[in-house]
Amino acid sequence: MTDSVKDAAREAESSRTLHVLARAGYAANGLVHVLIGVLVLVVAFGGRSESDQAGAFKAVAAAPLGFAVLWVLAIALWALALWHAVEGVLAPARGGDAKGLARKWGVRVSEWGQALVFAALGVIAAAVALGARPDADEAAQGASRGVLAIPGGPFLLGAVGLGVGIGGVVFVVMGVRRSFENKMSIPSSPLGDGVKILGIVGFIAKGIALVVVGVLLLVSAVTVDPDAAAGLDGAIQALFDLPYGAWLAGVVGAGIIAYGVFCFFRAGFARL
């Protein structure tokens, strides 16, 4: 990293405005996940809905002044993306050896990956505010079809699926090990205990959903069938093919709501 890039990152990190907007981004992410969880429960109880990020934003758009709320969500999510990008640039050195360098770049990849996710969510929110009605599963299938058409496409798609699946496992591990507490100042109180429980349940539930998405992408790569690929909505639908699928989907939906509520508290307790 050049000194000028790091200097700009340090200036951004010290910005009070960015701190406030980044916290708003966590709250926006929480709202999105609460809505997704509610939509998953609707499907689990026999209703019809798009149980993914696009479906959540469409639900917001249907509310009075929904387009204005979507723009607020988009700006907050972009600010959170910028915060994670800055944190990636400023990732501290973890020793001068190869292991320390690998850890440093591991942090950078994690932060920049989160930045891409939140930036993409902001783009979807803005697109829906402008009148677009995206379908995540169709987009996943279209992207998979394009990847499979290029030389080595199945291997590339398989790598993406593996990456998503690994990301899901990481979420589960973070929930089980409660490592999310390292980036928060959670009070030692009954409220703090409740936040920790929400984090454990929420991280595990979101991780399970991501693992299913990764598996669907891997199936698409192995079978060279783009129609097998799917986003979160498709992952929830895939749970219904399992024994007690409706109950599993309901549990995951409740867990995603827990993760969303956790994000509201994270907005206040995050160490920025």
Note the pLDDT tens digit of each residue in 120-165.
999 999 999 998 887 766 777 777 788 778 888 888 888 888 988 9
Q: Output the average pLDDT for the chain.
A: 86
Tokens read off for 10: 């340090």
Higher pLDDT, 34 or 3: 34
Question: How confident is the model at residue 27, as a pLDDT?
Answer: 96
Band the pLDDT of 95: cuts 50, 70, 90. low
Question: How confident is the model at residue 230, as a pLDDT?
Answer: 67
Whole-number Å distance between alpha carbons of 122 and 79: 9
Do 195 and 186 touch, CB atoms closer than 8 A?
yes
Tokens read off for 171: 């979420």
- C-alpha closest to that of 136 among 72, 49, 71, 205: 49
Number of residues in the chain: 272
User: For 170-220, what is each residue's pLDDT tens digit?
Assistant: 999 999 999 999 989 999 999 999 999 999 999 999 999 889 888 888 888
Mean pLDDT, residues 221-247 taken together: 78
Rg (the chain; Cα; Å): 19
Q: Which of 27-41, 65-79, 129-143, 247-261 shows the lowest per-residue confidence on average (mean pLDDT)? A: 129-143
Do 228 and 216 touch, CB atoms closer than 8 A?
yes
Do 26 and 195 touch, CB atoms closer than 8 A?
no
Confidence check: pLDDT of 7 > 90: no
Whole-number Å distance between alpha carbons of 75 and 183: 23
Question: How confident is the model at residue 123, as a pLDDT?
Answer: 92
Q: What spatial distance separates the first Cα and last Cα of the chain, rounded to whole Å?
A: 22
Question: How confident is the model at residue 3, as a pLDDT?
Answer: 67
Question: How confident is the model at residue 178, as a pLDDT?
Answer: 94
What backbone torsions phi and psi does residue 270 show, to the nearest 5 degrees? -65, 140
Please state the pTM of the whole predicted model.
Answer: 0.87
Mean pLDDT, residues 86-113 taken together: 78
- C-alpha closest to that of 210 among 177, 250, 161, 243: 161
